């Protein structure tokens, strides 16, 4: 049997997969970088932007739950390509006609093109093309590529915005930025078509594995380890959404310029993934990713408390540094949660179904959190940011406890022995 690891086309496939992930989700989450221009171009309020993200969050739950099962029945590589092309079409629509009404429709359809079979498929890939003991390292490279993709796409977008804003104003510049996102999504789909032909899946024991059947779905949902993994992902992802509000936080509270705060926003949201290969290698050596997530959650609690308590007493540069580290650590540990399936005792054949369920619930903060935060900002002004930070501290505590329980379960079960 030929042993496959992180080399050659496997690494290239992980890299292109991560870039495709970044290309697919950059536009749906554009408000994390271009919050102000988005409001100016469409006339949306804070609450409306939150509701639009709630529409997207609803699509997350519905389409991930359905799509995860279909991903295990269909060719997940083709699912990725078709989904990317669909997102490209919707991006062009938004660029041509940005408005609040169109955003409600487009973000609803984004739920189909970025969640239905794309999300379970792209999350399934890092496990399917390597053996179980290399999943942590595989997810690390996949996350690293996400960071490269996100920062390339968003820094190019910020550059285009900066050039356009001087000539045509804030609203028209937003449309130009959307064209940039559309171009990256289309090119990434072409990259998938080329690279995925070169990589084959790795079966656990070198034997042919049967397709996952519907009758096994209930068995997956009864696995306690999967639910602990989902809780960890939910708490970490929710906190990552809080860090996306650092951009308006800098602007509203400290009057930092849009372009500068946007650069910090890119680093906050995506910079952590640059260190993912290191974390993936550590996961390979220590085996238990859940133990690392306990450490990550506790670290984030400390940093958010510092931001909350010292906002009025320390220089803005110190606050930005603290929030930057918080964003980096948060994205880093949010992504490493994807390496938990072996500890969660998830059958490889059920990877798509399990990851669809994981994505539907772990990413469900999109359904309510943006609307809640938007309401707090519209109602309480800058005091709404304090409520956000306290909200995240509570969830991180729950996430740390869940990760610890999962670690004890997997260690007692001798998962890696």
Q: How far is CA 349 from the centre of its chain?
A: 23
Nearest to 138 by CA among 129, 147, 146, 148: 129
Q: For residue 258, count other CB atoms closer than 10 A to its CB.
A: 22
Judge whether 52 and 28 are in contact, CB under 8 Å: no
Judge whether 262 and 156 are in contact, CB under 8 Å: no
Q: What are the tens digits of pLDDT across the range 219-253? A: 777 788 899 999 999 999 999 888 878 777 777 77
Nearest to 39 by CA among 154, 179, 164, 171: 171
Judge whether 264 and 33 are in contact, CB under 8 Å: no
Judge whether 279 and 141 are in contact, CB under 8 Å: no
| Run means of pLDDT, 10 residues per run, the chain, 417 residues | 59 91 90 82 86 84 79 87 96 92 94 88 83 75 85 88 83 90 95 89 54 61 88 93 80 66 66 72 77 93 86 73 83 85 79 79 84 87 90 96 92 67
CA 291/CA 284 separation, integer angstroms: 12
Residue recorded with tokens 């794309």: 118
Domains and CATH numbers, the chain: 9-196+214-412 (1.20.1250.20)
Q: What are the tens digits of pLDDT across the range 24-58? A: 999 998 887 788 888 888 888 888 888 888 888 78
Global pTM? 0.70
CA 268/CA 286 separation, integer angstroms: 27
Judge whether 279 and 336 are in contact, CB under 8 Å: yes
């Amino acid at each position: 049997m030929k042993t496959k690891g992180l080399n050659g086309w496997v690494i290239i496939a992980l890299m292109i997969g991560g870039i495709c992930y970044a290309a697919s989700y950059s536009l749906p989450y554009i408000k994390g970088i271009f919050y102000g221009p988005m409001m100016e171009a469409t006339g949306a309020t804070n609450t409306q932007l939150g509701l639009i993200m709630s529409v997207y969050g609803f699509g997350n739950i519905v389409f991930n739950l359905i799509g995860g099962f279909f991903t295990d029945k269909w060719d997940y590589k083709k699912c990725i390509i078709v989904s990317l092309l669909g997102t490209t079409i919707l991006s062009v629509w938004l660029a041509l006609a940005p408005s609040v009404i169109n955003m409600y429709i487009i973000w609803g359809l984004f739920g189909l093109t970025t969640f239905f079979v794309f999300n379970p498929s792209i999350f399934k890939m890092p496990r399917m093309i390597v053996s179980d003991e290399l999943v942590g390292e595989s997810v690390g490279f996949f996350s690293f590529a996400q960071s490269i993709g996100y920062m390339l796409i968003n820094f190019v977008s910020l550059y285009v915005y900066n050039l356009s804003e001087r000539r045509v104003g804030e609203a028209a510049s937003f449309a130009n930025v959307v064209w940039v996102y559309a171009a990256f999504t289309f090119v990434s789909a072409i990259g998938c078509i080329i690279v995925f032909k070169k990589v084959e899946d790795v079966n656990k024991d070198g034997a042919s594995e049967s397709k996952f059947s519907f009758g096994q779905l209930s068995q997956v949902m009864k696995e306690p380890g999967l639910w602990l993994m989902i809780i960890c992902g939910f708490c970490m992802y929710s906190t990552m959404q809080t860090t996306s509000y650092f951009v308006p936080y800098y602007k509203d509270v400290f009057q930092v310029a849009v372009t500068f705060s946007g650069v910090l926003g890119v680093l906050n949201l995506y910079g952590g993934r640059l260190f993912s290969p290191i974390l993936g290698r550590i996961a390979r050596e220590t085996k238990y990713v859940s133990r690392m997530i306990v450490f990550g959650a506790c670290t984030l609690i400390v940093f958010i408390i510092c931001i909350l308590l010292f906002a009025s007493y320390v220089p803005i540069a110190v606050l930005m540094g603290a929030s930057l580290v918080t964003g980096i650590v948060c994205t880093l540990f949010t992504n490493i949660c994807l390496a938990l399936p072996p500890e969660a005792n998830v059958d490889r054949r059920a990877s798509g179904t399990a990851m669809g369920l994981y994505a539907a619930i772990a990413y469900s903060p999109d359904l309510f959190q943006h609307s809640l935060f938007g309401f707090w900002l519209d109602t309480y002004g800058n005091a709404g940011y304090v409520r956000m930070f306290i909200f995240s501290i509570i969830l991180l505590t729950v996430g740390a406890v869940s990760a610890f329980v999962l670690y004890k379960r997997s260690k007692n079960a001798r998962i890696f022995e």
